[in-house]
């Protein structure tokens, strides 16, 4: 396992009410949080007291980098107009809100098409989505754990997705987020995964370091605390070191649980 050329940037997904205090409590300089309800289509707003400007200023003063995770309901790949069109609108709202707080990027899942539908339609919809976005803040497409019709479950799928989005005018502001739990659960060959993905995308902008509750190939997106799930610990650390990108843990639990997970990574670097 090779050592990183620069110090690891390490952080956690935290509550959105006061992400600065949450970062400081964990001893990290990176956070990820939602803006609004991740299961809602409603217009979102920044929960931090004083709003977006206050959060941006507080983060800058504290030296804390912010990432925003887009709502789970977003699926710009869908062929269903009632899902795809609101997804594009909500994603734009998230990007604009993230830009207002000075976020480094908005993480959004790759999405899927319906059963029996052509995957090509989903990739084309991703092209149209990127083409139509005003990317005041970059978006990072995240690999997903399951679904036969998913856009970004496999390396082959990611390659087709990247071919589509690379043709869009906003392609320079589209990056990639690699989730270790999702990769494990997808059933994909994990050998040299970072190298294979980077050969396609040219970049890995963020790592979500999560263990998996379930077995390889389960397709289940269920995170576990690091070292306590079924993902290979060496694989998780190999992704972290090979990607040489900022790392966010998304494990649930209390403050002590997340500090334990952060220390699990620190101890193995």
pLDDT at position 6: 67
Give residue limits of the domains in the chain: 10-266
Per the CB < 8 A criterion, the answer to whether 247 and 9 are in contact is yes
24-52: average pLDDT:
95
pLDDT at position 167: 98
Tens digit of each residue's pLDDT (9 = 90 or more) over 190-213: 999 999 999 999 999 999 999 999
Q: State the average pLDDT for the chain.
A: 96
The two structure tokens encoding residue 239: 């992704």
Q: Is the pTM of the predicted complex or chain greater than 0.85?
A: yes
pLDDT at position 4: 44
pLDDT at position 225: 97
Tens digit of each residue's pLDDT (9 = 90 or more) over 97-146: 999 999 999 999 999 999 999 999 999 999 999 999 999 999 999 999 99
50-76: average pLDDT:
98
Q: What are phi and psi of 31, to 5 degrees?
A: -140, 155
Per the CB < 8 A criterion, the answer to whether 228 and 211 are in contact is yes
CA distance 263 to 66: 20
Tens digit of each residue's pLDDT (9 = 90 or more) over 258-269: 999 999 999 998
pLDDT at position 2: 42
CA distance 235 to 208: 13
pLDDT bucket at 220, cuts 50 / 70 / 90: confident
DSSP per-residue letters across the chain: -PPPSSPPPEEEE--SS-HHHHHHHHT-SEEEE-SS-TT--SPP---STTHHHHHHHHHHHHT-EEEEEPPTT--TT-S-HHHHHHHHHHHHHHHHHHHHTT-SEEEEE--B--TT--HHHHHHHHHHHHHH---SS-EEEE--S--TTBSSSSHHHHHHHHHHHTTSTTGGGEEEEEEHHHHHHHT---TTHHHHHHHHHS---EEE--EESS-TT-----EE-TTSSSS-HHHHHHHHHHH-S-EEE---S-HHHHHHHHHHHHTT-
pLDDT at position 39: 96
Tens digit of each residue's pLDDT (9 = 90 or more) over 73-111: 999 999 999 999 999 999 999 999 999 999 999 999 999
CA distance 170 to 233: 36
Q: How far is CA 12 from the centre of its chain?
A: 12
Q: Which CATH superfamily is domain 10-266 in?
A: Divalent-metal-dependent TIM barrel enzymes (3.20.20.150)
SS (H, E, C) 9-71: CEEEECCCCCHHHHHHHHCCCEEEECCCCCCCCCCCCCCCCCHHHHHHHHHHHHCCEEEEECC
Q: How far is CA 141 from the centre of its chain?
A: 7
Tens digit of each residue's pLDDT (9 = 90 or more) over 223-241: 999 999 999 999 999 999 9
Tens digit of each residue's pLDDT (9 = 90 or more) over 3-23: 445 689 999 999 999 999 999
| Those residues with Cβ within 8 angstroms of residue 51's Cβ, 6 or more apart along the chain or in another chain | 45
């Amino acid at each position: 396992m090779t050592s990183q050329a620069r110090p690891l940037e390490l952080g956690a997904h935290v509550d959105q009410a006061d992400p600065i205090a949450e970062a400081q409590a964990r001893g990290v300089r990176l956070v990820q949080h939602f803006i609004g309800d991740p299961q809602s289509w409603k217009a979102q707003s920044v929960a931090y007291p004083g709003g977006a400007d206050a959060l941006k200023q507080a983060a800058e003063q504290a030296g804390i980098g912010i990432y925003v995770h887009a709502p789970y309901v977003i699926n710009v790949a869908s062929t269903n107009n009632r899902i795809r069109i609101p997804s594009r609108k909500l994603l734009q709202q998230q990007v604009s809100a993230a830009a207002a707080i000075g976020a480094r990027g908005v993480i959004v899942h790759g999405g899927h098409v319906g059963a029996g539908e052509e995957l090509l339609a989903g990739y084309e919809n991703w092209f149209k989505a990127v083409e139509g976005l005003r990317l005041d803040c970059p978006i990072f497409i995240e690999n997903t754990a399951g679904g036969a019709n998913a856009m970004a479950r496999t390396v082959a799928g990611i390659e087709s997705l990247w071919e589509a989005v690379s043709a869009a005018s906003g392609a320079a502001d589209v990056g990639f987020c690699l989730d270790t739990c999702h990769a494990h659960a997808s059933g994909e060959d994990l050998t040299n995964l970072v190298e294979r993905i980077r050969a396609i995308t040219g970049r890995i902008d963020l790592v979500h370091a999560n263990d998996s509750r379930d077995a390889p190939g389960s397709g289940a997106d269920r995170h576990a605390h690091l070292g306590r799930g079924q993902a290979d610990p060496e694989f998780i650390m190999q992704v972290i070191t090979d990607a040489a990108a900022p790392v966010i843990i998304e494990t649930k639990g209390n403050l002590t649980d997340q500090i334990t997970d952060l220390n699990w990574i620190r101890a193995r670097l």
